[in-house]
């Protein structure tokens, strides 16, 4: 065969022309590629637009998947049983964290339990008056603050307001020399205020906590409240959706506990988050308990969301942020 090419240069030339011609026809600009893959990076706004396009495709695909295995949400199981017809999915397949973080994506805090994925920590490294809230029910088991310690260590001026009614202070990971940038109260986050002398635990809405601290905006909000996230976040977010006001935080790290929920309930709650502009950019199932007990469902997952509505440091460059937004002074 090689000899044939050598002996017949005209035949070789013919083959080369045919191959190049087919490549030209099959490759862009002639092929019909989906938009996200052809969008050029022209800065933050174009990266956000690209993420938005990619996420829109996820929204359409979710509808298709529901139709395929449902056809209605009521027909979908969170975790289908191991009996025929064994549809090959779990609930998490319907909710991929497909919104691309438009900055660097870093896991902050300890590897394994305690660490969380953050989008664009670099955006608050030098931000004066950077505000972080960490709202947890640790139940005294995993009392650790490696995430908070890492935020303090890697930023100039982030301060952390911590709330956990089950303990008295942050975990031992935060060194004494950074204690002055932390504030702790043994309160619970609730859908409504309940903090009379007789109330135990004392429950505060996010709005009330922010008012107490004089805050109009939170840069990073971390919530792990053991299953209460459904009622609490619905109560927190719904008024913002109804009034069309942007949520008062830039990003949200949330652990989801799918205990005593069904698919339609979870879908409805998730869509409230989405209609408020929250977009998941990273997720991790918590497989630790599944490993201990193979009969258990993989019902715990970490999600990190970017708030794509309103103005915040992760979606806007400093000069684009208006003073009235309350997001605060910024340095580039
Ligand atoms: C994504 O969908 C929303 C709602 O349909 C639409 O407003 C938005 O323009 C879409 N984004 C892109 C980049 O196509």
The residue whose CB lies within 8 Å of the most ligand 1 atoms, and thus the one to mutate among 37, 45, 48, 56, is 56
- pTM of the model as a whole: 0.87
pLDDT tens readout for residues 110-121: 998 889 999 999
Does any ligand 1 atom lie closer than 6 A to the CB of residue 331?
no
The number of the ligand 1 atom at minimal distance from the alpha carbon of 53 is 13
Task: Give the residue whose CA is nearest to atom 12 of ligand 1.
Answer: 53
Question: Residue 297 — very low, low, confident or very high, per pLDDT cuts 50/70/90?
Answer: confident
Which residue's CA lies nearest to atom 4 of ligand 1?
56
Beta carbons within 10 angstroms of residue 207's beta carbon: 13
Phi and psi (nearest 5°) for 155?
A: -130, 155
pLDDT in tens, 199-228: 999 999 999 999 999 999 999 999 999 888
Q: Whose CA is nearest to atom 5 of ligand 1?
A: 56
Averaged pLDDT score across all residues of the chain: 89
Using a pLDDT cut of 70, give the percent of the chain over it: 89
Tens-place pLDDT, residues 122-168:
999 999 999 999 999 876 556 789 999 999 999 999 999 999 999 98
Structural domain spans, the chain: 2-32, 44-320
Report how far residue 41's alpha carbon sits from residue 60's, in angstroms, rounded to the nearest whole number. 24
Angstrom distance (rounded) from CA 219 to CA 134 = 11
pLDDT at 331: 46
Instruction: Work out the pLDDT band at 288, boundaries 50, 70, 90.
Output: confident
Instruction: From residue 318, give the alpha-carbon distance in Å to each of 89, 134, 299, 327.
Output: 42, 25, 39, 10
Mapped onto helix, strand or coil, the DSSP state of residue 174 is coil
Question: Ligand 1 centre from 53 Cα, in Å?
Answer: 7
The DSSP-derived string for 218-268 is: EEEEEEE-TTTHHHHHHHHHHHHHHHTPPPSEEEEEEEEE-TT--HHHHHH
Q: Is 49 a pocket residue for ligand 1 (Cβ < 6 Å)?
A: yes
- Taking the CA of residue 56 as reference, the ligand 1 atom at the shortest distance is 1
DSSP string, 110-129: STTTT-EEEE-GGGTTT-TT
Nearest CA to ligand 1 atom 14: 53
Ligand 1 neighbourhood includes 53 CB (under 6 angstroms) = yes
pLDDT band at 302 (very low <50, low <70, confident <90, very high): very high
Q: What is the DSSP letter of 150?
A: H
Closest CA to 110 of 134, 136, 144: 144
Query: What sign does the CA torsion over 21, 23, 29, 30 have?
Result: positive
């Amino acid at each position: 065969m090689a000899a044939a090419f050598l002996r017949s240069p005209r035949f070789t030339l013919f083959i080369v022309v045919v191959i190049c011609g087919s490549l030209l026809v099959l490759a862009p600009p002639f092929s019909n590629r989906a938009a996200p893959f052809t969008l050029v990076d022209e800065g933050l706004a174009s990266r956000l637009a690209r993420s938005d396009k990619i996420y829109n495709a996820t929204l359409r695909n979710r509808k298709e998947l529901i139709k395929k295995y449902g056809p209605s949400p009521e027909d979908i199981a969170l975790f289908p049983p191991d009996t025929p017809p064994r549809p090959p999915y779990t609930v998490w397949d319907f909710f991929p964290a497909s919104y691309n973080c438009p900055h660097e994506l870093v896991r902050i805090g300890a590897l394994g339990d305690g660490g969380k994925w953050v989008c664009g920590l670099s955006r608050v490294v030098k931000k004066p008056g950077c505000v972080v809230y960490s709202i947890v029910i640790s139940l005294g088991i995993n009392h650790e603050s490696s995430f908070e310690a890492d935020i303090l260590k890697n930023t100039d001026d982030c301060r952390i307001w911590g709330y956990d009614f089950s303990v008295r202070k942050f975990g031992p990971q935060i060194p004494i020399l950074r204690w002055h940038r932390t504030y702790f109260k043994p309160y619970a986050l609730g859908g409504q205020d309940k903090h009379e002398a007789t109330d135990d635990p004392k429950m505060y809405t996010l709005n009330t906590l922010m008012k107490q601290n004089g805050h109009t905006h939170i840069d990073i909000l971390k919530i792990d409240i053991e299953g209460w996230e459904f009622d609490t976040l619905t109560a927190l977010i719904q008024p913002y959706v109804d009034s069309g006001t942007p949520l008062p935080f830039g990003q949200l790290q949330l652990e989801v506990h799918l205990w005593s929920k069904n698919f339609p309930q979870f879908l409805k709650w998730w869509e409230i988050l989405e209609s408020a502009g929250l977009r998941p950019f990273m997720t991790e199932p918590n497989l630790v308990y599944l490993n201990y007990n193979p009969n258990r469902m993989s019902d715990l997952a970490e999600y990190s969301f970017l708030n794509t509505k309103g103005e915040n440091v992760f979606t806007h460059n400093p000069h684009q942020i208006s003073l009235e937004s309350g997001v605060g002074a910024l340095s580039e």
